[in-house]
Amino acid sequence: MLEYRAAIRTPMDLFAQLVPALEAVRALSGSSPASLATIQQNVARILALAAAIVPPEEVAAAHALLVSAAQLAGNAAQIRREATLASDMARAWDASSAAAGALMLGAKARTDIRTLLRPPQLR
């Protein structure tokens, strides 16, 4: 578990860096092309790092949740870019929904991974 804790730290930190940009997509507040590109770059890094990690059985579901959150974040950025290029408000709402889902899944993954990696507490 110590190896997993060290390995998953970077993907989790990268996802945390996505939160402000994803919140902007979710809020329909006008995401810059640079912001969307940063989301996609970080998502690619998260997915590559996470794919190289073999999670212990106890955290496999939470690990998969982090991967799903990253994939959804990438989709949100791509949809938002398409919406901007096409001036399509319906697509912007789709991007907003994807960003909201990514944020929710990411928060759940982070909480689950932290809980599962916490040393047992004596009572």
Task: Report the range of poorest mean pLDDT among 26-30, 38-42, 50-54, 105-109.
Answer: 26-30
Q: Report the chain's mean pLDDT, rounded to a whole number.
A: 95
- Report helix angle 60-86 to 2-26, nearest 10: 30
Indicate the pTM of the whole model. Answer: 0.92
Domains of the chain, residue spans: 2-117
Contact predicate 73/102, CB 8 Å: yes
**Residue 1 reports pLDDT greater than 90:** no
Quick one: which of 15, 122, 31 has its CA closest to 65? 15
Q: How confident is the model at residue 119 (pLDDT cuts 50, 70, 90)?
A: confident
